[in-house]
């Protein structure tokens, strides 16, 4: 256990450490008719992407019309690519592609050292549309062991993961005053709202990746001695192993299952409904190839909450051209779109919640 044998170096590492500080978000409010079980199911699914999604990203660089401080070095931009690849190589049903222009990217990444490291979570990224607005920032060099973990961590947020030390199952009791003193000071210099949002707040059970705390998650911070009171084992500090943990890998594979090579993606025919045949929390993709060019309507049937996304399948991957989220309403997901004969499309669905799971179907007409 060489790491445990050097407590003094652990302490000095952590003392100089800067941490990810997430943008504060307002919790979603539901109509009173949405019961707690249904609301929980929607919250737990709604930040995740639909399978089949190709997430495009762009790293601001020299020549872009953004503040100079946002522009990344070739080294840091390369590390971002490595981190996307590391997540992708776990074998998942979503993919990542570097866009050549910020306006083509869903995730837009800056490198401003004054702004710390942060990212919006999962589909919350869709709310930031301005091509000159960041959805993620890196505040320190990425070509160190800590920097590489930071790149994995922020991409973890972008694909739907929250902070692991805020997992209510961690059962962490903080020395609140010590935490405030530590994070108010340099090099983090956070205000009380940032400290509450990123450390002290417990994330609802519906938003965390499992029912067991994973202290080695890449989404877990390292903590100096004296910040955690319980569990007592971490009073002398917490230091995750580094890299993706087994539970990180298991979570992403379960959230975005990879298509099995021999399983054919089902094809939708006009006017014929197909059962979704998935459980709440799961995601599925269908092919659709229009036989003629016209406006098609696609939709779900049944008392369910879903997000439906329409992709055009191109030689460089899936491009999202429309999406509709019906969660928390009495409506069903619907998309109207003019589709072109000779082009290929996919429709991805994530089912958040269904009163009778077997009853939800999808149709194009
Ligand atoms: Zn974070």
Give the contacts of 260 (CB within 8 A, at least 6 positions apart): none
Model pLDDT for residues 253-284, shown as the tens digit of each residue = 999 998 777 778 899 999 999 998 888 888 99
What is the whole-number distance in angstroms between the Cα of residue 23 and the centre of ligand 1? 10
What is the whole-number distance in angstroms between the Cα of residue 15 and the centre of ligand 1? 18
Average pLDDT, the chain: 88
What is the whole-number distance in angstroms between the Cα of residue 261 and the centre of ligand 1? 34
Q: How far is CA 302 from the centre of its chain?
A: 28
Distance, in Å, from the CA atom of 205 to the CA atom of 64, rounded to the nearest integer, reads: 40
What is the whole-number distance in angstroms between the Cα of residue 137 and the centre of ligand 1? 11
What is the whole-number distance in angstroms between the Cα of residue 36 and the centre of ligand 1? 27
Percentage of the chain exceeding pLDDT 70: 94
Distance, in Å, from the CA atom of 253 to the CA atom of 301, rounded to the nearest integer, reads: 27
Distance, in Å, from the CA atom of 114 to the CA atom of 329, rounded to the nearest integer, reads: 41
What is the whole-number distance in angstroms between the Cα of residue 19 and the centre of ligand 1? 7
Q: Which of 294-298, 331-335, 341-345, 354-358 has the weakest average pLDDT? A: 354-358
- For residues 144-172, average pLDDT: 93
- For residues 123-138, average pLDDT: 93
Omega before residue 187 within 30° of 0, cis? yes
What is the whole-number distance in angstroms between the Cα of residue 351 and the centre of ligand 1? 26
What is the whole-number distance in angstroms between the Cα of residue 150 and the centre of ligand 1? 8
What is the whole-number distance in angstroms between the Cα of residue 362 and the centre of ligand 1? 36
> Can you give the pLDDT at residue 205?
76
What is the whole-number distance in angstroms between the Cα of residue 319 and the centre of ligand 1? 27
Q: What is the dihedral of CA 254, 256, 259, 260, to 10 degrees?
A: -20
How big is the chain, counted in residues? Answer: 365
Confidence label for 2 from pLDDT (cuts 50, 70 and 90): very low
What is the whole-number distance in angstroms between the Cα of residue 22 and the centre of ligand 1? 6
C-alpha distances in Å from residue 7, one per residue of 35, 165, 237: 49, 21, 9
CB 187 within 8 A of CB 18: yes
Element (H, E) at 314: strand 304-314
Model pLDDT for residues 41-92, shown as the tens digit of each residue = 777 778 899 999 999 999 999 999 999 999 999 999 999 999 999 999 999 9
260 phi-psi bin (left φ>0, alpha ψ -120 to 50, beta other): beta
C-alpha distances in Å from residue 9, one per residue of 1, 5, 79, 162, 224: 14, 9, 26, 28, 11
pTM, whole model, 2 decimals? 0.85
Domain range annotation of the chain: 7-255, 274-364
Distance, in Å, from the CA atom of 27 to the CA atom of 276, rounded to the nearest integer, reads: 29
Distance, in Å, from the CA atom of 107 to the CA atom of 96, rounded to the nearest integer, reads: 10
Q: How far is CA 246 from the centre of its chain?
A: 17
Give the residue among 174, 175, 158 at the shortest CA–CA distance from 117: 158
Give the residue among 248, 170, 256 at the shortest CA–CA distance from 211: 170
Q: How far is CA 180 from the centre of its chain?
A: 27
How many C-beta atoms lie closer than 10 Å to residue 341's C-beta?
A: 10
Q: Which of 127-141, 204-218, 231-245 has the weakest average pLDDT? A: 204-218
Element (H, E) at 186: none
Task: Phi first, then psi: give them for residue 10, nearest 5 degrees.
Answer: -60, -45
Select the more confidently predicted residue: 303 or 98.
98
- In CATH, which superfamily holds the domain spanning 7-255? Collagenase (Catalytic Domain) (3.40.390.10)
What is the whole-number distance in angstroms between the Cα of residue 87 and the centre of ligand 1? 16
**Is residue 211 predicted with pLDDT exceeding 80?**
no
Q: For the residues of 99-146, what is the DSSP string, one character each?
A: -SSGGG-SEEEE--GGG-BEE--GGGGGG---TTS-SEE--S-SSSHH
What is the whole-number distance in angstroms between the Cα of residue 306 and the centre of ligand 1? 27
Highest average pLDDT, of 75-84, 191-200, 227-236, 280-289, comes from 75-84
Q: Which of 7-21, 105-119, 184-198, 287-301 has the weakest average pLDDT? A: 7-21
What is the whole-number distance in angstroms between the Cα of residue 190 and the centre of ligand 1? 14
What is the whole-number distance in angstroms between the Cα of residue 161 and the centre of ligand 1? 9
What is the whole-number distance in angstroms between the Cα of residue 37 and the centre of ligand 1? 27
What is the whole-number distance in angstroms between the Cα of residue 25 and the centre of ligand 1? 13
What is the whole-number distance in angstroms between the Cα of residue 65 and the centre of ligand 1? 27
Second CATH level (architecture) for the domain 274-364:
Sandwich (2.60)
Q: Is 298 helix (H, G, I), strand (E, B) or coil?
A: strand
């Amino acid at each position: 256990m060489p790491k445990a044998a050097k407590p003094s170096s652990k302490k000095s590492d952590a003392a100089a450490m800067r941490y990810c500080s997430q943008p504060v978000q307002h919790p979603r409010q539901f109509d009173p008719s949405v019961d707690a079980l249904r609301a929980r199911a929607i919250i737990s699914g709604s930040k995740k992407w639909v399978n089949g999604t190709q997430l495009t990203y762009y790293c601001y660089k020299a020549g872009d019309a953004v503040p100079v401080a946002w522009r990344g070095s070739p080294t840091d931009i390369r590390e971002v690519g490595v981190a996307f690849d590391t997540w992708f190589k776990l074998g998942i049903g979503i993919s990542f592609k570097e866009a050549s222009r910020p306006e083509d990217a869903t995730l837009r990444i800056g490198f401003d050292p004054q702004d710390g490291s942060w990212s919006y979570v999962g589909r919350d990224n869709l709310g930031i549309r301005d091509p000159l607005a960041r959805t993620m920032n890196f505040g320190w060099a990425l070509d160190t062991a800590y920097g590489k973990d930071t790149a994995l961590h922020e991409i973890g947020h972008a694909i739907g993961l929250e902070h692991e030390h805020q997992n209510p199952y961690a059962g962490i009791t903080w020395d609140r005053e010590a935490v405030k003193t530590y994070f108010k000071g340099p090099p983090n210099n956070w205000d009380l709202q940032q400290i509450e949002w990123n450390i002290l707040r417990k994330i609802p059970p519906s938003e965390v990746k499992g029912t067991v705390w994973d202290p080695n998650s890449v989404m877990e911070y390292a903590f100096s001695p004296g910040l955690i009171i319980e569990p007592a084992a971490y009073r002398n500090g917490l230091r995750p192993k580094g890299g993706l943990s087994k539970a990180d890998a298991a979570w992403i594979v379960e959230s975005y299952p990879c298509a099995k090579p021999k399983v054919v993606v089902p094809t939708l025919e006009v006017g014929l409904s197909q059962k979704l045949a998935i459980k709440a929390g799961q995601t599925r993709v269908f092919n659709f190839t229009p036989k003629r060019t016209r406006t098609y309507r696609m939709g779900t049937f049944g008392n369910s909450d879903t997000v439906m996304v329409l992709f055009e399948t191109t030689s460089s991957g899936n491009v999202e051209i429309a999406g509709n989220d019906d969660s928390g309403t009495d409506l069903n997901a619907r998309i109207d779109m003019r589709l072109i004969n000779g082009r290929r499309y996919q429709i991805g669905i994530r089912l958040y919640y269904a009163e009778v799971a077997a009853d939800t179907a999808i149709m194009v007409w």
